[in-house]
Amino acid sequence: MFLSFHNLLYTISTPHEILNKLKELAFHVFEEVLATIKEKAIEFQELTDNQLTLSEMQPKVVSYQELYELCLETHGASFKEHIETYIASLYNKDLREASIDLVREVHQFSPYRNPMIIVFFAPPYYPHSSSKKAPKIVELCNHIIDIAKEKYGETLKLEPFFPGLSDMSYLGINHDRSIDALKENLPLWGNGYSIPLKTISELNIPFINIGPLGKDPHKYTERICLSYSLDKASHLIYQAVLKAFA
């Protein structure tokens, strides 16, 4: 089994939409791989005069939920009991590795034995959240931008989202649909991993992110501008607090 993990940063799409996009992309990649194999086979035949017989294969892409339901339909209660026992054995294992192991175990029960691509989600999940439509937050941001320019000579830019991972994602959820697609295709959901989506949705706390100034995050060249990050940014945060509670 070949595995590929990708971090996905998104600002609008729902889990359901992302899943469909990934499946569509995987299908096209599968088609390209099969086409390449056929082309190489033809080239080999022309070079060697050996006739090759390639098995007829069609691209097959399924979500984890679709794979699970296929196996359950084929094997019934015994499959479900086996998977529940197997999940218990994954306790305390790295969540990403445990997700891989669980998908691999479910696949063992699949009646479809030709190559397939299985699309699924793995922890951690950070809901996309934004306060760009909150009037008070926009007013507060513009206030901080003005102070930064007038007092420190710094030109700040208001971005609609933070292009990275942030715990602010857990302060609110901007969509309440398609969450089922997340739960059904995140193999460990409710079995070692979950987040309180309902509570987060009910909170919906407005927020802003006044961050430090740096470059190359998570690289060996990562660095930070101390004069801005420890001096100017800290004062801007203080001014933001004063304005928020004025």
pLDDT for 55: 82
Cβ atoms within 10 Å, residue 245: 6
Is the pLDDT assigned to residue 130 strictly greater than 90?
Answer: no
pLDDT of residue 163 exceeding 90: no
Give the tens place of pLDDT for each residue, 78-117.
Answer: 999 999 999 999 988 999 999 999 999 999 999 999 999 9
* 5 pLDDT above the threshold of 90: no
Which one has a higher pLDDT value, 126 or 75? 75
Q: Above pLDDT 90, what percent of the chain?
A: 61
pLDDT at residue 175 in the model: 62
Across 12-16, 56-60, 189-193, least confident range: 12-16
- At 212 the pLDDT is 87
Cα separations (Å) of 206 from 129, 133, 165, 173, 211? 9, 10, 17, 11, 16
Residue 56 tokens, joined: 């007829």
pLDDT single digits (tens) 201-215: 888 888 999 988 899
Q: Across residues 219-241, what is the average pLDDT?
A: 94
- For residue 128, pLDDT over 60 is answered with yes
Higher-confidence position of 101 and 14: 101
pLDDT band at 178 (very low <50, low <70, confident <90, very high): low
Point out the least confidently predicted range of 55-64, 144-153, 172-181, 208-217.
172-181
pLDDT by residue (tens digit) across 18-53? 999 999 999 999 999 999 999 998 888 888 888 878
State how far the alpha carbon of 113 is from the alpha carbons of 41, 71, 93, 117, in Å: 23, 12, 28, 12
Given a cut of 60, whether residue 176 has pLDDT beyond it is no
